[in-house]
Chains A and B, each alone.
Chain A
């Protein structure tokens, strides 16, 4: 069975709504600003990718912020797909969602009370909001879905894992439509950790640049609607792209450092191509993991070279993390949407803030300007703590 992308919804630091964000990415705009949600005075870097246009509902029965963002993205995706959920059997529609940290703000609140000696004020809402699976259960509940569902917290490769899960549910015939995506809310816990590792760029996020100094933590949610091709055609849906296949691997090397030869990343890409029955020669564009840390970008380059060989310098590869920062579990879901839009529109977004080429990252990184390009096949790379690698391949659906 062939599976296609028919809807896109996202909530990002560059706005909300399919076209608003896509146009901003193509224009090379940055959503990164000084951190506002907590006092970052004591941190060496102060840059973050927060969303100021998405107000958290602070009501008593509210879910956590990541869950709220995921629901908003899911509603937008369903609307974009023109999918009438009421006309579908609820048990035949499900969701797979990814995250890195779930709802860490709920632990922060727990700790604020505990450290202040107000343990008695910690209430039942902590366990109702904190567990990361509430992202998918909130989404399923709000949209009235009853089908296959999974919360997959495989850190920064989670969005791709979620797309792969949804793809498998459709291929197994368990669902008529699936939502797939990822969500992570900005949190002081995540920011503090990356700051301690010295991984946050002080002023600018510049993936693949010779003077790149790090990543920038961000927040976002993104959701895609996936359907069997046949059903999408029958209902006259507009189709962005087909999910051709995926590849999953683990470095089994180190919790935070990628394999020094790019082994796991290369195996994920190769497995995704094999599952898609495509050769590396057929790939038109790669959406990079491209965090902007010195190590990631160097090792991703190595991994691309292992898979693409001679052709590696001629395949355009760009990192939208230069604009949105690293949105953790949402990142590869956003980038999956970017692959789908690139295929539909024949244009790929740039890697911004690129000034000086790095001989260790000698790829075509689509510097600073979006590029018109007929994209038949796009590969989406995602890597994560735990040595987790996931690549998903998208391709154009020919009429």
Chain B
């Protein structure tokens, strides 16, 4: 999945939670300060990103600071996807 595609999907998720059109969500916009999302809505965004990208995050509460902006959320998704890829590659099942 390309970075642009990840970014677009994240903006769609934020759009549904924040009621702001995706095209008006800046890549560096602070979800809390610029989009006025409170902690409950930020968690909603986090849950939906986790689900959308099948990240299986077990410590979402601790990861929440990584969801400060669209760009940082994209980075989090890429990081976890890379971890998942590495885990799959090193798994004995991967070659079976």
Do A and B share a complex? yes
A197 adjacent to B43 (CB under 8 Å): yes
Report the minimum CB–CB distance from A92 to chain B (whole Å): 45
Is the CB of A254 closer than 8 A to any CB of chain B? yes
Complex contacts, B40 vs chain A, CB 8 Å: 197, 254-257
B64 to chain A, nearest CB (A): 9
Contact A196 B47 (CB under 8 A): yes
Whether, in the assembled complex, B61 has its beta carbon less than 8 Å from a beta carbon of chain A, the answer is yes
The digit string for A235-258, where 1 denotes a CB below 8 A from any CB of B, is 000000000000000000011110
10 contacts between A and B (CB under 8 A): A196-B43, A197-B40, A197-B43, A198-B60, A198-B61, A254-B40, A256-B40, A257-B38, A257-B39, A257-B40
Chain A interface helix/strand/loop/mixed: loop
A sample of 6 more A-B contacts (CB under 8 A), given A197-B43, A254-B40, A257-B39, is: A196-B47, A197-B40, A198-B60, A254-B38, A255-B40, A256-B40
Distance (Å) between the CB of A197 and the closest chain B CB?
Answer: 7
* Distance of B22 from chain A, by nearest CB (Å): 25
Interface bits B12-49 vs A (CB < 8 Å: 1, else 0): 00000000000000000000000000111001000100
Cα distance A196–B50 when bound, in Å?
A: 13
Complex-state Cα separation, A254 to B38, whole angstroms? 9
Give the residue name and chain of the B residue nearest to A44 (CB): B58
Chain B residues, Cβ within 8 Å of A197: 40, 43
By a beta-carbon cutoff of 8 Å, the part of chain B in contact with chain A is 38-40, 43, 47, 58, 60-61
Name which residue of chain B comes closest to A295, CB basis: B39
Residue of B nearest to A197 (CB): B43
State A198–B63 Cα separation when bound (angstroms).
Answer: 12
Q: A256 — which chain B residues lie within 8 A by C-beta? A: 40
Interface residues of A in 187-244 (CB under 8 A from B): 196-198
Residues on the B chain within 8 Å of A44, using CB = 58
Q: Which residue of B lies closest to A255 (CB)?
A: B40
Docked complex Cα distance between A196 and B58 (Å): 11
CA separation between A257 and B40, bound complex, in Å? Answer: 9
Chain A nearest CB, measured from B85 CB (Å): 24
Q: Can you name the residue of chain B whose Cβ is closest to the Cβ of A254?
A: B38
Which residues 30-73 of A sit at the B interface, judged by CB distance below 8 A?
A: 44
Q: How far is the CA of A198 from the CA of B57 in the complex (A)?
A: 13
Which residue of chain A is the closest to B47 with respect to CB atoms? A196
**Which of A154-205 touch B at CB < 8 Å?**
196-198
Q: Tell me, in angstroms, the Cα distance from A254 to B40 when the chains sit together.
A: 10
Q: Nearest A residue to B64 by beta-carbon distance?
A: A198
Chain B contacts of A196 at CB under 8 A? 43, 47
Which chain A residue has the least Cβ–Cβ distance from B44? A196
In the assembled complex, the Cα of A196 lies from the Cα of B61 at a distance in Å of 9
**Measured CA separation A255–B39 after assembly (Å):** 11
A393 CB to closest chain B CB (Å) equals 32
CB distance from B17 to the nearest CB of A (A): 14
Nearest Cβ on chain A to B18's Cβ, whole angstroms: 16
Quick one: which of A198, A255, A257 has the most chain B CB within 10 A? A198
Least CB distance, B56 to chain A, in whole angstroms: 11
Ranked nearest first, the 4 interchain pairs of A and B with the lowest CB-CB distance are: A198-B61, A256-B40, A254-B38, A257-B39
Q: Which residues of B contact A198 (CB under 8 A)?
A: 60-61
A119 to B43, CA, bound (A): 32
Which residues from chain A contact B39 at a C-beta distance below 8 Å?
257
Nearest-CB distance from B94 to chain A (Å)? 25
Complex interface: chain A residues within 8 A of B61 (CB): 198
Whole-angstrom CA separation of A255 from B41 in the bound complex:
11
B62: nearest chain-A partner, CB-CB: A198
- Give the docked Cα–Cα distance between A257 and B42 (Å): 14
Contact residues in A for B38 (Cβ distance below 8 Å): 254, 257
- Inter-chain CA distance A256–B58, complex, in Å, is 23
A197–B40 CA distance with the chains assembled, in angstroms: 8
Q: In the complex the two chains form, what is the Cα distance from A252 to B40 in whole Å?
A: 16
Q: Which residue of B lies closest to A198 (CB)?
A: B61
Chain A positions 250-272 with a Cβ under 8 Å from a chain B Cβ:
254-257
- How far is the CB of B38 from the nearest CB of chain A, in Å? 7
| Bound Cα distance from A257 to B39, whole angstroms | 9
Complex CA gap A198/B61 in Å reads 7
Q: Which residues of A contact B58 (CB under 8 A)?
A: 44
Cα distance A197–B39 when bound, in Å? Answer: 10
Q: How far, in angstroms, from A256 to B39 measured CA to CA in the complex?
A: 10
Chain A residues positioned under 8 Å from B43 (CB to CB) = 196-197
- In the bound complex, CA of A44 to CA of B61 (Å): 11
